[in-house]
Amino acid sequence: MSARPRVCVLHVGGTIGMVRTEAGYAPQPDFLGNYMNAMPELRRPELPAFDVVSLEPLLDSADMAPEDWVRIAAAIAERYDDYTGFVVVHGTDTMAYTASALSFLLPGLAKPVIMTGSQLSLENVRSDGREHIITSLLLAGAGEIPEVCIYFASRLLRGNRAQKVHNLDFVAFDSGNLPPLAQVGVGVEVARHLVRKPGARAMKMVPLVRKPEVAAVRLFPGIGAAMMSKLLEPPLEGLVLETYGVGNAPSRDHALLTAIARSAAPPREVVIVNCSQCHGGSVRQTVYSTGAALARAGVLSGFDMTPEAALTKLYCLLAAGLPPAEVRARMQQDLAGELTANVP
């Protein structure tokens, strides 16, 4: 008889484990563990055994920063050999950023890392968190999907393809450029042709040697050269440029394009990546002259990456100490399923 799988539940914060206070909802360290230990469903034999680890300080996800991505990745790496899979309980607001970052920080992953949370606290009688916890434990314990994923509202999404799309609906996340890896209804239907293969080598966390300065800016009608120039000043090293449609930007503002080109060129070599503001589709900088102007200015196509994936990928590559030329090359390579290799 095979041993019962064991899952590590890393509680890092978020609405699911919050309680009402005079100042509004706030995380409470022991609330999630005590709640889960009191859930009779979690003692059923078809569910894996689990341990709840509280990664303090627990944070509202609006307070998450890159050092917290590293903290979570390190906690998984430290316990990697001891568990069948992991569930990361996290706030929804920046969950897509953390999921993307973990996919780049944990190469060679051969076990599931399932991120989940809820729109309503477990303290609420209608909380969506109970089902999220139960199903996330099942998915992590099965060990079949060796990726960083987000489980929410009956769908398992690749973490670095997901975006938060609603703040009131229970269907809070969607993936515009990749179907769900699994649909959960009466049964669990896994889209096995989409699931990445387990890492061939031992999983090792990417060592980060510094804290780079990266940013994202969403273009809007009327954005000018002065604002862009200010943003691109040192110490900025990387920028995600969220453009219109298939990667278009104002082309008649020559001063704006000059500011971008000057920063992308030596000696600055700021790595600037073009991502669409659209939820679905891909950047194609050769379709319109407005996109081609960005390409001539040294802006890289982000293809069909989400802005969240592009930003965290840019941060992780620069933090690993890679030179700008190598960062530029890797930004256009599929490292963890974040982009489609054959997009035009």
Query: What is the spatial distance between Cα 15 and Cα 90, in angstroms, rounded to a whole number?
Result: 8
Closest-CA residue to 55 (of 24, 26, 15, 27): 27
Cβ-proximal residues to 104 (8 Å cutoff; 6+ apart), any chain: 160, 206, 312, 313, 316, 317, 335, 336, 338
Query: What is the spatial distance between Cα 261 and Cα 263, in angstroms, rounded to a whole number?
Result: 5
- The side-by-side arrangement of strands in the sheet containing 85-89 is 49-59, 6-13, 85-89, 113-116, 148-152, 155-158, 182-184, 188-190
Catalytic position from the list 15, 84, 92, 116:
92
Closest-CA residue to 271 (of 302, 229, 292, 250): 302
Instruction: Please tell me the total number of residues recorded for the chain in this structure.
Output: 344
Query: What is the spatial distance between Cα 318 and Cα 215, in angstroms, rounded to a whole number?
Result: 12
Query: What is the spatial distance between Cα 65 and Cα 296, in angstroms, rounded to a whole number?
Result: 33
Amino acid at 102: L
DSSP 108-121: T--S-EEEE--SS-
Question: Is 92 labeled as catalytic in the residue annotation?
Answer: yes
Active site residues: 92
